Amino acid sequence: MNSLLNNRKGFYPHYIKELDNEIYLYNIITNGIFLLNQQEYKALVGNIDINNEQNKEIKNFFEENFIIITDKNKKILDKLYQKTISSKKGLNATSLTLMVSQACNLRCKYCYGDGGEYSHKGFMSYEIAKRAVEFFVDQTQEKKLNICFFGGEPLLNYDLVKRIVDYTKDIAIIKEKEFTYSMTTNATLITPEIEQFIQKNKISITVSMDGTKETNDINRYYANKKGAYDDINAKTVNLKNFITIRATIAPPNLNIEENLVHIIEELQYKRTAWAEADNLLSESDYEVLFEHTMKLYDRFEQMLKEGKITEVKKYYSFVNVLRKFYHDGIRSKGCGSGTNMMAVDIDGKIYPCHRFVGVEASILGDVCAKEMNDTKFYLQAELANFEKCKYCLARSICGGGCVNENFFANNFINEPSKKHCDYRINIVDRLLEIFIHMSDKEKQLLLD
C-alpha cells in the first residue's frame, strides 16, 4: 500500500495515495478526491514553491479545492461547518424508536439484554406509547417521521404495535404528518396475520440473522439452545421484499464473506447490513476479520467489473460507506443519536437512541413529565470534540463512530475504541481504491 497521511503546515490534512501509477489526494476534511499531476504532487510535498508566480495555476487549483488553508477557505469551511452543526443542535428527531418490549423469546449469547433475560423486563403500555408519539410529534416541525418498533422482541407486544400504527394514522391527519414504520425483530414470532399487517402497512423489517445455519445458531438460539436459523427462514419466506437481514459480526463468526454471500446468494434476501460487535472482538479477531473483509471487497470489485450493480446493491453496509465518498461533504457527527433520533423505553424515559436505553447518564427526559434534561449530549457528540479523529483518514466516513460503542469502550462518547479504529482506517483505504476504480456511470447506478 503506497499511501501517506500528510499534515503539512498550511495544508488541510489529506491522504496521498499512489494507485495504478497515478497519484491521488483525498482531503479528509472535505471528503474530496483529486487526481494530481507530477507538478501538483511536487508542490504538495514541498518540492515546488506555490507562491512563485510561475506556479500560480497550481496554487489556484489548491485553493479552489480546499487543499491549502487560506483566509477565504477558512471562512467558507467555518460557515459550512457551523451550518451543519446548527441544523443538529439539540433534539429535533425524525425517528422515534419505541422499546415496546424489554423481553425476548430467544437467548442469544451476545445480547446486550443479558442473553434475553433483561434486567428491567416488561412491556410498554399503550398509555406510555401514546405519550411517546405525542412528545415525538410535538418536538419537531418536520413532516416525514419514522417510528421504529424495537425491543427485546417487539412482536411479543404485537397488540401494542398494531394500536400504535392505528393511532398514528389519526395523528397524521390531525397534525399533518406522514409516518413510515420499521421494526427490528428476530422474526421467529411472525404469523400469517402479522405478515399481512407488515405488508399492508409497508413496515420495513430488519431481521437479525448472522449467516449460515452453523454461524447463526452458535450465537442465536432459544432457551433450550435450539438455533433460530430454520424458524427465521420459514417465517420470512413471503417477506423477502420487506426485509433487511442484519448480521452481527462477533466471534467465532468472522468469515464475513461466507456468511453475507450465503444470505444474499443462497437465501435470496434482497438486502443485508452488518456491524461489528466491538465489545466482543479482540485485536486478533479484528485481524482475522480484516482478511475476510478484504476478500469480500475483492469479490464486490469483481462483481462491479462484471456489471452486477444490482447484486452489489444488496450489500447495504458496503454501498452505504461508498455513498459517503460520493455524496457527503463536511461531516459534523457520526450519527443522529440525540439529534434526529430518539428512543423511549417502557417506562417513558427518553434516550438518544435505542442502544443507550438503560444508561442512566444518557437520559434526555421523560415523555410522562413532558420535560427534557439539559444534558448537552449533542455537543459532546460533535466530531469537532473528538481529538483522535482530527487527522484520521476515516474521519469523513465514520465521523467518530458509534458514540454508544465509544461510551462502552472508554466511558466517553467522544473517545473511540482503538481496535475498531484500526480496522476502520484500513478498510477505508481499500474502499478508497474501489471508489477510484469505479467509472462515473457505475457510481451513478450504484450510489445515487
Amino acid at 109: K
Quote the least distance from Cβ 329 to ligand SF4, whole Å.
Answer: 16
Cβ burial 15-29 (10 Å sphere, 16+ → b, else e) = bbbeeeeebbbbbbb
User: What whole-number distance in Å separates Cα of residue 265 and Cα of residue 296?
Assistant: 13
Residues that bind ligand SF4 (CB under 6 A): 335, 337, 341, 353, 355, 386, 388-389, 392, 394-395, 398, 400-404, 416, 421, 424-425
Angle at which helices 126-138 and 158-175 cross, to 10° = 30
- For ligand SF4, the closer of residues 68 and 403 by Cβ is 403
Is residue 98 within a helix (H) or strand (E), and if so which, with residue range?
A: strand 95-99
Q: Tell me how far, at minimum, the Cβ of 195 lies from ligand SF4, in Å.
A: 28
Q: Least Å distance between CB 334 and ligand SF4?
A: 6
DSSP structural state of residue 429: H
Residue 253 CB contacts under 8 Å (≥ 6 apart), including other chains: 210, 211, 215, 218, 219, 259
Asked if 246 and 133 count as a contact pair (C-beta separation under 8 A), the reply is no
Tell me if residue 32 falls in helix, strand or coil.
coil
Residue 344: count other Cβ atoms within 10 Å of its Cβ.
Answer: 29
Q: Which is nearer to ligand SF4, 346 or 421 (CB)?
A: 421
The amino acid at residue 359 is V
Q: What's 356-424 look like in SS3?
A: HCCCHHHCCEECCCCEECCCCHHHHCCHHHCHHHCCCCCHHHHCCCCHHHHHHHHCCCCCCCHHHHHHH
Rounded CA separation 307/179 (Å): 36
Between 261 and 384, name the residue whose CB sits nearer to ligand SF4: 384
Alpha helices in 176-226 (DSSP H): 192-200, 213-219
Give 23 or 413: the residue with its C-beta nearer to ligand SF4. 413
The nearest distance, CB 206 to ligand SF4, in angstroms, is: 12
Write down the least CB distance from residue 143 to ligand SF4, Å: 22
Q: Which is nearer to ligand SF4, 13 or 251 (CB)?
A: 13
195 versus 422: smaller Cβ distance to ligand SF4: 422
Closest alpha carbon to 348 in 119, 149, 133: 133
- In 3D, which of 344, 334, 328 has the Cα closest to residue 405? 334
Tell me the closest approach of the beta carbon of residue 424 to ligand SF4, in angstroms.
4
Of 257, 256, 258, the C-alpha closest to 276 is: 256
Nearer to ligand SF4, 39 or 385 (CB): 385
Task: Output 184 or 212, the one with its CB closest to ligand SF4.
Answer: 184
Closer residue to ligand SF4, CB minimum distance, 23 or 392: 392
Q: How far is the CB of 22 from ligand SF4 (least distance, A)?
A: 25
In whole angstroms, how close is the CB of 401 to ligand SF4 at the nearest point?
4
Task: Give the residue with the Cβ less far from ligand SF4, 262 or 333.
Answer: 333
| Closer residue to ligand SF4 in complex, CB, 235/355 | 355
**DSSP code for 275:** E
Q: How far is the CB of 158 from ligand SF4 (least distance, A)?
A: 24
CA dihedral 131, 351, 371, 349 (to 10 degrees): 60
Nearer to ligand SF4, 147 or 304 (CB): 147
Nearest approach, Cβ of residue 397 and ligand SF4 (Å):
8
Residue 24 Cβ vs ligand SF4, minimum distance, rounded to whole Å:
19
Do residues 354 and 97 touch, judged by C-beta distance below 8 A? yes
What length is written for the chain? 448
Chain-centre distance for alpha carbon 31: 18
Give the nearest distance from C-beta 373 to ligand SF4 in angstroms: 18
Strands of the sheet containing 33-36, edge to edge, are: 2-6, 14-19, 22-27, 33-36
